[in-house]
């Protein structure tokens, strides 16, 4: 998943950035937006998929005073990994429990 940064015209502000995720779309965009938009130091977080024929996603983060957009993105990606790991663990536990109760040998 290559990630680059869109040039914000005339803006060298580290608090507001738009990142471009190559070969990504709504699945990552919506999950990451849900996590990052709940951070208290984030003023705005959103994403767009510019066109269905373009295999990329634009992800925008605007911070309140004091934080950087890249730090919020890194924190969001780490938190998303933790959510996915927790979900996978819970699924595996429930699947094993269901299999044992129903006599399935999988």
For 30, the enclosing helix (H) or strand (E) is helix 26-36
pLDDT over 70 at 27, yes or no:
yes
The pTM of this model reads 0.82
51 has a pLDDT exceeding 80:
yes
Residue 8 reports pLDDT greater than 80? no
Query: Which residues touch 12 (CB under 8 Å, ≥6 apart)?
Result: none
Listed in sequence order, the residues at least 6 apart from 46 whose beta carbon sits closer than 8 Å to its beta carbon are 33, 37, 59, 60
Which pLDDT score, from 0 to 100, does residue 10 have? 47
DSSP class of 56? E
Q: Kindly state the tokens that stand for 37.
A: 């938009």
Q: What is the mean pLDDT of the chain?
A: 90
- Least confident piece of the model among 43-47, 52-56, 73-77, 80-84: 52-56
CATH architecture of 3-101: 2-Layer Sandwich (3.30)
pLDDT above 90 coverage of the chain, percent:
73
Chain-centroid distance, C-alpha 21: 10
**Is the Cβ–Cβ distance between 8 and 62 less than 8 Å?**
no
| Secondary structure (3-state) at 11 | coil
Domain layout of the chain by residue ranges: 3-101
Token pair belonging to 56: 């990329």
The predicted pLDDT at position 52 comes to 85
Q: Specify the pLDDT at position 71.
A: 96
């Amino acid at each position: 998943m290559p990630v680059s940064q869109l040039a914000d015209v005339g803006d060298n502000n580290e608090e507001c950035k738009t990142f471009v995720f190559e070969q990504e779309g709504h699945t990552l965009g919506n999950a990451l937006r849900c996590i990052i938009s709940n951070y208290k130091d984030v003023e705005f977080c959103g994403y767009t998929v510019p066109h269905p024929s373009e295999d990329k996603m634009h992800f925008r983060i605007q911070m309140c005073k004091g934080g950087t957009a890249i730090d919020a993105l890194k924190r969001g990606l780490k938190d998303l990994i933790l959510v996915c790991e927790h979900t996978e663990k819970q699924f595996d536990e429930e699947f094993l429990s269901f299999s044992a109760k129903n006599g399935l040998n999988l």
